């Protein structure tokens, strides 16, 4: 059933009014933006296009970025609701594993490997609700075995929970993965688990995430002869580049991005489109991260320019293909003059990874903003249909 969506702007207004009727001008001053900008965001005519702006506004309102995004809390989306039923069991299982409790395995080693491969296929296809249903039992069986099996499944859990909007639980899963990887003494999986940890930290912790990536990079240098480790070094450089950008450290971000470019040039794109742990590290993935960094810098024109040099379909992970179309669509929509092209890009993003696209607050806001602009004419049927599939009603 469709609902009248609570946009990021609507949540900003809600929290602003809760702060003793704080005015838009006061909020703008505290957040370092203009009052007209706050007005446009609250009315849904404009989207928040930078993570750093979300952090600044959330800080001014004394709430979390998750509060503004409505992550993990809002009803109405079938994808979230089907997964939400499994989240308490996943949480309980993670607590049990972190406390050191272990149950006997309910399957053979071969059966466990087959279930991990199944989970990995679901991750590649961004079928996160189906993954969520699989994870409680799979985590318990992987914990009984320990080693790399537990690292893999905890990594899967962290990825799944983060994309479903349960970032705090994703962080728990990442910690389980880091501990298991360090116990297994496998440098490549240590790199992968630490990448999951950095990705799971809240947006407000971007400086911490950048420092965590730096420490991981230093720790992995000794194993750089291993191609798997090199791929994870590249991913950690990309993570540090984005989080440094969010933190306003453009020079540091550029250094990390340059290192990732250099590493990718020597490795090339993985022949199977996946590479170690499905990370897909190579020149194509670096370009996708460059697009996200340009979006964070408010350089929509640069995003569009970069998009012309990327073929996202060479990567196996559908979430990376979605990233391309979502960043491009948001950049096109932000111009206010290319909504037809933006809509086509959003449809491609949805086709690549339907569940995470429907759950993405930035995608929801962009769709609502496009509908607001179209009202003086007529909302295209395709936009209305896309909104409906996202659980959004565009009816006034």
Name the residue ranges covered by the structural domains of the chain.
Answer: 8-69, 74-185, 206-281, 282-396
Percentage helix, strand, coil for the chain under 3-state DSSP, each rounded to 5: 75, 0, 25
What is the separation, in whole angstroms, between the first and last Cα of the chain? 16
CATH no. for 282-396 = 1.25.40.10
Least confident residue range of 70-84, 199-213, 369-383: 70-84
Q: Which long-range contacts (CB under 8 A, 24 or more apart) does 90-94 make?
A: 90/132, 90/135, 90/136, 90/139, 90/157, 90/161, 90/169, 90/173, 91/169, 91/172, 92/136, 93/135, 93/136, 93/139, 93/140, 94/139, 94/157, 94/169, 94/172, 94/173, 94/176
Distances from the Cα of 297 to the Cαs of 182, 246, 253, 359, in angstroms? 35, 8, 11, 23
Res. 310: pLDDT tops 60: yes
CB contact set of 99 (below 8 Å; sequence gap of 6+): none
Q: List C-alpha distances in Å: 5 to 363, 379, 393, 395.
A: 12, 16, 7, 11
If pLDDT is split at 50, 70 and 90, which confidence band does 142 have?
very high
Among 54-58, 264-268, 350-354, 385-389, which stretch is predicted with the lowest mean pLDDT? 385-389
The alpha carbon of 181 is separated from its chain's Cα centroid by a whole number of angstroms, namely 23
pLDDT at residue 396, rounded to an integer:
53
55-62 mean pLDDT = 90
Q: CA 303 → CA 206, 252, 332, 377, distances in Å?
A: 22, 20, 9, 28
Reported as a single tens digit per residue, the pLDDT across 147-164 is 999 999 999 999 999 998
Among candidates 173, 189, 176, 287, which has minimal Cα distance to 238?
287
Average pLDDT over residues 8-19: 89
Sign of CA dihedral 106, 110, 114, 120: positive
Give the range among 42-51, 227-236, 257-266, 313-322 with minimum mean pLDDT: 42-51
**Domain 8-69: top CATH class:** mainly alpha
Residue 385 has a pLDDT of 87
DSSP per-residue string spanning 116-162? HHHHHHHHHTT-HHHHHHHHHHHHHHHHHH-HHHHHHHHHHHHHHHH
> For position 219, what pLDDT does the model report?
82
List the structure tokens of 113.
């490997």
pLDDT band at 74 (very low <50, low <70, confident <90, very high): low
pTM metric for this prediction: 0.89
More confident residue, 116 or 375: 116
- Among 58-72, 269-283, 304-318, the range scoring the smallest mean pLDDT is 58-72
Place of tokens 């569009």: 304
Give the length of the chain: 396
**How many Å apart are CA 366 and CA 348, to the nearest integer?**
15
| Lowest-confidence region among 10-14, 256-260, 283-287, 323-327 | 10-14
More confident residue, 73 or 145: 145
Percentage of the chain beyond pLDDT 70 is: 95
pLDDT, tens digit, 9 for 90 and up, residues 116-141? 999 999 999 999 999 999 999 999 99
């Amino acid at each position: 059933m469709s609902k009248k969506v609570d946009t990021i702007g609507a949540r900003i207004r809600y929290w602003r009014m809760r702060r003793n009727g704080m005015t838009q001008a006061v909020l703008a001053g505290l957040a370092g933006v203009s009052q007209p900008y706050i007005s446009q965001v609250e009315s849904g005519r404009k989207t928040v296009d930078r993570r750093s702006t979300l952090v600044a506004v959330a800080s001014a309102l004394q709430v979390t970025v998750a509060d503004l995004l409505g992550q993990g809390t809002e009803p109405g989306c079938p994808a979230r609701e089907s997964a939400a039923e499994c989240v308490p069991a996943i949480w309980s299982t993670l607590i049990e594993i972190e406390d050191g409790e272990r149950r006997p395995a309910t399957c053979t080693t071969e059966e466990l490997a087959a279930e991990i491969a199944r989970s990995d296929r679901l991750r590649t296809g961004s079928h996160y609700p189906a993954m969520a249903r699989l994870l409680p039992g799979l985590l318990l069986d992987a914990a009984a075995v320990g080693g790399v099996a537990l690292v893999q499944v905890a990594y899967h859990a962290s990825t799944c929970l983060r994309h479903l909007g349960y970032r705090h639980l994703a962080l728990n899963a990442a910690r389980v993965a880091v501990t298991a990887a360090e116990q297994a003494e496998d440098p490549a999986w240590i790199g992968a688990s630490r990448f999951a940890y950095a990705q799971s930290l809240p947006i407000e912790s971007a400086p911490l995430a950048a420092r965590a990536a730096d420490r991981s990079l230093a720790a992995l240098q000794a194993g750089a002869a291993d191609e798997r480790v090199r791929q994870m070094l590249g991913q950690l450089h990309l993570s540090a580049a984005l989080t440094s950008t969010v933190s306003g450290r453009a020079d540091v971000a550029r250094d990390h991005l340059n290192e990732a470019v250099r590493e990718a040039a020597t490795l090339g794109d993985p022949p199977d489109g996946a590479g170690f742990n499905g990370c897909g590290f190579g020149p194509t993935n670096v370009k996708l991260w460059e697009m996200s960094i340009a979006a964070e810098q408010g350089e929509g024109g640069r995003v569009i320019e970069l998009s012309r040099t990327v073929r996202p379909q060479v990567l196996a992970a559908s979430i990376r293909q979605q990233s391309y179309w979502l960043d491009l669509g948001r950049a096109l929509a932000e111009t206010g003059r290319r909504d037809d092209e933006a809509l086509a890009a959003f449809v491609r993003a949805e086709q690549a990874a339907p569940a995470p696209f429907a759950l993405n607050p930035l995608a929801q806001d962009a769709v609502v903003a496009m509908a607001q602009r179209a009202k003086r004419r007529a909302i295209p049927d395709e936009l209305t249909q896309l909104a409906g599939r996202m659980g959004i009603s565009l009816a006034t």
